[in-house]
Structure 1
């Protein structure tokens, strides 16, 4: 693992204070100012327009896959893991042999791949609407997020004798004030809140993440648990139909920005951290709306440039298929392409030769069998976005694309 500063070392204590006692979400209404409500509704409208724009794009599957990949890598970074983009992209190719000389720890898949599978599942509206939030579901979700580590698996909520849990999200006051004997009550209230519709979609999606940071029902993976609850609330309320909302990526992108200079009504000072969290979420949603549109436009431009560079592309041939498919799956091999196209190995080899000559793909390893190729333009676009939010030293393998 790469030695580096933790995501949770960024504290906002000076701006927010250090103590906060959350209320039960279903028992006490949350009072927000007209400014706050207008900001939230504006962000929801912006993202809804962006989601509609993506749904009409011929590359909507590629955009969603791109966002899921970025989010899963950002989530792994927050957990302190070293990340490898190529390994994540190669996981789309079925079978262990697809990785060529790249191997996976036999103890389990990389954390980013695990997160990717869970994000895809929890951002699916149909799956999210079928979920019943209760105690059993919370324990099951935590078991999935804990990476199958038996030392972290719990059959009861955290007790007074538990080790000190992870620090609170850097955008929140750091001191937790919910005693262990109240955890059951707060968790039952949180499940009831997620099962029904409260407030607007953006506010309801923000609140479970906010609340779980203070309840801390488990010893670890609190940040991840809060994100996945938010994914499911967004999907249940009609968001994420075409584009997901990259919560972890937004947190990394805004972590060094100052806390928003917003003060709630002085008669309710206890709600200031919650109001600031909602405002932070609304601003992140506005940024996300513009970001997903930029992703679609850049991927469309990449495909247009490819088609200008590859001569004699006809409908139905392998090159035509790959020029579209590689936007979503930029790491491929011959086995994957034969299965995808139904063509023979010699035909796939001819297509690879044409794409290599045009500079669209390049080999990732030297093996003759199970040789991996990548769409270099898409990989470089991933790394350009990483540069904006993740320190370069946290992303091994970039030197392969920046010679």
Structure 2
């Protein structure tokens, strides 16, 4: 076990002050403003040379004599420059609620490192909403629609599930529920939580939307376990079928936060189910045919993972410049010269590569790589019951060979 000490100010480096490194203090502010801040948060604001925040946040704290600087827009491209323009000054950045929960605290840590950020959180809107509703926080899924399309809500919708939506409107959430087959769900709008103007059922610029999921009669809810029905995807026949998809994903083994390349994506089913495994899973679908790439995008929206990145182009050339993957699935094009080599070379240590083969030619390529790198080679033969006259018989699908291997060395 590696025990890490903490400094007296809560940062990860007890000696940062002696080292002379500037620390940015992030203060979470609730809708109740200055009155709701604990003494330590008030002192941080009062001691700052510069107070940075949105117009709404700056209006919630009194004038202290510090310079007031509005957050830039767009934020991410301009924030590093803003910080660089404030050298050797005590900077306090205001945030809404808990700065480390979908907030600017996380962004600052990513930019300058945890040792240079001191966070003083307020109660989050999620905690306040759960307190008002009587919902245990640990049983609730949170979906942020800030800067994201409404389709991002779809993956969280399951019967009996409780979801809190940040950044959406009741109209947008209601339309998404109807389209996804969850129209009967109970929806509650909670606005200005913690403020004197707090209200239920009234929309404002600062609100949380609570959804108690109820599936409509006749609808077909989809679980997050790999192996969605084939007709859950729009496709032209170029689709990794349900049983083979479940086996392939079990070998790809998605872990939270990991990145997948789905090469020769077809309908995008592997990439989509990878991303549905956990909200932090990421994927790039590489597809050479424009009409199929467009279909991948539609499937991703319909199944709640609109953040799926789709790259149009033929592999291996289309792989150049992509971020390094933790797993690669080759569902099509395994016989293209240099494709498997490029995927294997790009794969991160500990990563997994899975390639499926249907034809004799692709099986020969896969068998050759199995002989070189080892791994696991499985042949799947699936038969489905279908009518035979007035009876029922078995109809065999084409067998699929699945090769999987782990990259244990750099």
Give the number of the structure whose residues are more often helix, by fraction. 1
TM-score (norm 1): 0.26
Give the number of the structure whose residues are more often strand, by fraction. 2
Higher relative contact order (CA 8 A, sep 6+): 1
TM-score (norm 2): 0.26
